[in-house]
Amino acid sequence: MDLLQIVAVFLGTTLVMVPLLKRFGLASVIGYLATGVLLGPYALGLLHDPHDVLEFSEYGIVLLLFLIGIELEPSRLWVLRRSVFGLGGLQVMLTGLALMGAVYALGLPLPVSFVVGFGLALSSTAFALQLLSEKNQLTSKHGRRAFAILLFQDMAVIPLLAVVPLLGGKATDYGWDDLGKLVLVASLFILSSRALIRPALRFVASAGTPEVFTAAALFLVCGAGILTEFLGVSMSLGAFAAGVLLADSEYRHEIEASLLPIKSLLLGLFFIAVGMTADIALLKTEAGLIMACVLGVMMVKFVLLTLIGRISGSNLHTSVQLAVPLAQGGEFAFVLFSAAAANSVFSEQLAQRLILIVTLSMALTPFAFMLLEKVLEPRLRPTDHRDFDELPEDQASPVVIAGFGRFGQIVARVLRMHHIGFTALESDVRQVDFVRRFGNKVYYGNPANIDLLRSAGVGKAKIFVLAMDDVRDSVKTASALHRHFPHVAVYARARDRAHAYQLMDIGVHVINRETYLSSLDLAEKILVALGLGAERAENSIRRFRDYDEQLMKRQHAIYQDEAQLMESVKESMRELEDLFESDAVAAEKPPAAARETT
What is the C-alpha to C-alpha distance for residues 363 and 347, in angstroms, rounded to an integer?
25
- Calpha distance 363→380 (Å, rounded): 25
Query: What pLDDT, on a 0 to 100 scale, did the predictor assign at position 374?
Result: 80
DSSP bridge pairs for 425: 402, 443
Does residue 511 sit in helix, strand or coil? strand
CA atoms within 13 A on the CB side of 454: 5
Same domain, 201 and 132: yes
Clarify whether residues 343 and 481 are in a common domain.
no
Residue 156 placed within a domain: yes
**What range defines the domain where residue 226 resides?**
26-170+177-376
Q: How far, rounded to the nearest angstrom, does the alpha carbon of residue 573 sit from its chain's CA centroid?
A: 37
Residue 547: the pLDDT is 86
Q: What is the CATH number of the domain that holds 361?
A: 1.20.1530.20
| The predicted structure's pLDDT at residue 598 | 37
Is there a single domain that holds both residue 353 and residue 422? no
340 and 443 share a domain? no
Dist CA 309 CA 311 (whole Å): 5
Structural domain count of the chain: 2
Same-domain status, 340 and 451: no
Residue 132 maps to a domain: yes
Residue that terminates a domain, selected from 514, 546, 580: 514
Which has the closest alpha carbon to 410: 454, 465, 355? Answer: 465
How would you write the pLDDT of the chain (598 residues) with one tens digit per residue? 666 777 788 788 888 887 887 777 666 777 787 888 888 777 777 777 666 776 777 777 777 777 777 766 666 667 677 788 888 999 999 999 999 999 999 999 999 999 999 999 999 887 788 778 777 777 778 888 888 898 888 778 767 877 887 787 655 554 455 556 656 666 776 777 767 887 888 888 888 788 888 888 888 888 887 877 777 666 777 777 778 777 777 777 788 788 877 877 777 777 787 778 777 778 788 888 899 999 999 999 999 999 999 988 888 888 888 898 899 888 778 778 877 887 888 888 888 889 889 888 888 888 888 888 788 777 776 554 445 555 555 556 889 999 888 888 889 889 888 888 888 888 876 677 666 665 566 788 788 888 888 888 888 889 999 998 888 889 999 999 999 999 999 999 998 888 988 899 898 989 998 888 889 999 999 999 998 889 989 988 998 888 888 888 888 877 777 777 777 777 777 776 766 666 555 555 555 544 444 3
In a domain, residue 488? The reply is yes
Judge if 324 and 422 occupy the same domain.
Answer: no
Q: Does residue 561 form part of some domain?
A: no
Q: Which of 345, 376, 407 is the last residue of a domain?
A: 376
For residue 240, tell me if it sits in a domain.
Answer: yes
Q: Answer yes or no: is 571 within a domain.
A: no
User: Rounded to two decimals, what is the model's pTM?
Assistant: 0.57
Check residue 91 and give its pLDDT: 93
For 146-211, the DSSP string reads: HHHHHHHHHHHHHHHHHHHHHHTT-----SHHHHHHHHHHHHHHHHHIIIIIHHHHHHHHTT--HH
Helix then strand then coil, in percent of the chain rounded to 5, is 70, 5, 25
Closest to 453 (Cα-Cα) out of 507, 400, 494: 400
Are 283 and 423 found together in one domain? no
pLDDT at 22: 74
Domain annotation covers residue 520 = no
Check whether residue 188 and residue 40 sit in a common domain: yes
Query: Read out DSSP for 541-583?
Result: HHHHHHHHHHHHHHHHTTTT-HHHHHHHHHHHHHHHHHHHHHH
Look up the CATH number of the domain holding residue 470: 3.40.50.720
Q: Of the residues 487, 514, 541, which one is the last residue of a structural domain?
A: 514
**Domain co-membership, 301 together with 425:** no
Residue 341 · residue 348 · CB < 8 Å: yes
Secondary structure letter of residue 72 according to DSSP: S
Nearest to 494, CA basis, from 422, 559, 540: 559
| C-alpha separations of 156 from 119, 162, 268, 482 in Å | 10, 10, 25, 63
Query: What is the Rg, in whole angstroms, of the alpha carbon atoms belonging to the chain?
Result: 31
How far apart are the C-alpha atoms of 491 and 469, rounded to whole Å? 14
Residues 474 and 367 in one domain: no
Residues 153 and 57 in one domain: yes
Please tell me whether residues 354 and 243 are part of one structural domain: yes
**pLDDT at res. 595:** 44
What confidence score (pLDDT) does residue 593 get?
Answer: 45
Domain annotation covers residue 549 = no
